[in-house]
Structure 1
Amino acid sequence: MSEHDTNLYGTIHGGVVMKLIDDAGAAAAGRHADGPAVTVSVDRMSFLAPVRAGDLLSVRAELERAGRTSMTAAVRVTAERWNASGPAAEVATARVTFVAIDAGGRPRRVPALVPAQDS
């Protein structure tokens, strides 16, 4: 994160983190749907700790549910200080719902969600 993303308090704007969450969730949904998926709702968004300029963020999205045309992703954001070693801190979580769309922007069917195999 850079200083261009900070608010008046010197921390990263929540909206910047929200965009990263939306991008990661849409990528997971789009991969599952094998095509575009658009945001329908933000079911939950929690900011757990401030993010500062220089922090290295990791955003991970995983589908929790796939319906007929919609998919719900759980998204987790962690931060590491750029200049210090140590564990990453969880800074935000979200649950976001997406709908797969066709070329005309209409909802389209998505495949069923197959649980991951334990290895």
Structure 2
Amino acid sequence: MTHDFKTVDSSRVSISQLMQPSHSNFGGKIHGGYILSLMDQIAFACASKHSEAYCVTASVDTVDFLNPIEIGELVTMKASVNYVGRTSMVVGIRVEAENIQTGAIKHCNSSYFTMVAKDDYGNSVTVPGLILNDKTEVKRFLKAIKRKSTKINRQKEFNSNSFSLDNYIENLKDYNIKIDLPKN
């Protein structure tokens, strides 16, 4: 690693690919798994560019499929490092599809990949800090902190030894479920 801090712009990555029939699902739309695979690749490229190291995917958070992608559309993915920890980075990815005949562009997917930098022996390595140059970059960093905090709090709440269903049963009455627990 040669830099203590890097700008968000220095590791931005963009890729475009024409969607072909071989990428489609049984419904004739582009398969979500194929899009996730491309997203994982761009997350790797973005994180590796920032960290100057090999990176692995630690988690994928908030995958929102907003609009279907059609065969023949040009898909463009844009990735940037939104957050850095000591050895990890959150890469934000935006997926857009363009009808190349009409020029119409639609936002199809957004996601956040947590990537961890590794050395040649599989040990986690420290990543450069992040220089935030505008309000959007600061907002994205803050949103990443909030997602991380929410995830930690959720894990603590539901994985603690003091967890009790009794504290939640009343909140479930408006859901389309029937609770039929065995009698102890």
TM bin, normalised by shorter chain, reads over 0.9
Match of 2:98 in 1: 80
- The answer as to 2:112 corresponding to 1:90 is no
Report % sequence identity. 34
* Partner amino acid, structure 1, of 2:86: R
Larger radius of gyration: 2
* Partner amino acid, structure 1, of 2:85: G
- Tell me the matched-pair count: 117
Alpha-carbon separation, structure 2, partners of 1:25 and 1:116: 21
Structure 1, gaps ≥5 residues long: none
- The answer as to 2:131 corresponding to 1:110 is no
Alpha-carbon separation, structure 2, partners of 1:106 and 1:97: 16
Alpha-carbon separation, structure 2, partners of 1:42 and 1:84: 33
Alpha-carbon separation, structure 2, partners of 1:85 and 1:69: 40
Runs of 4+ deviating beyond 6 Å: none
TM-score scaled to structure 1, two decimals? 0.93
Match of 1:63 in 2: 81
Q: Give the secondary structure class of the aligned counterpart of 1:113.
A: strand
Match of 1:6 in 2: 24
Q: Give the secondary structure class of the aligned counterpart of 1:43.
A: strand
Alpha-carbon separation, structure 2, partners of 1:114 and 1:66: 10
* Deviation at residue 117 of structure 1 after TM alignment: 5.7
Q: Give the secondary structure class of the aligned counterpart of 2:29.
A: coil
Structure 2, gaps ≥5 residues long: 1-18, 136-184
41-50 vs 109-118, greater mean Cα deviation: 109-118
RMSD: 1.2
TM-score scaled to structure 2, two decimals? 0.61
* Partner amino acid, structure 1, of 2:55: A
Alpha-carbon separation, structure 2, partners of 1:84 and 1:117: 33
Question: Of the two structures, which has the highest relative contact order with CA contacts closer than 8 Å and spacing of 6 or more?
Answer: 1
CA change 1:92–1:117 in 2 (3 A) is closer
Q: Give the secondary structure class of the aligned counterpart of 2:131.
A: coil
* Partner amino acid, structure 2, of 1:33: S
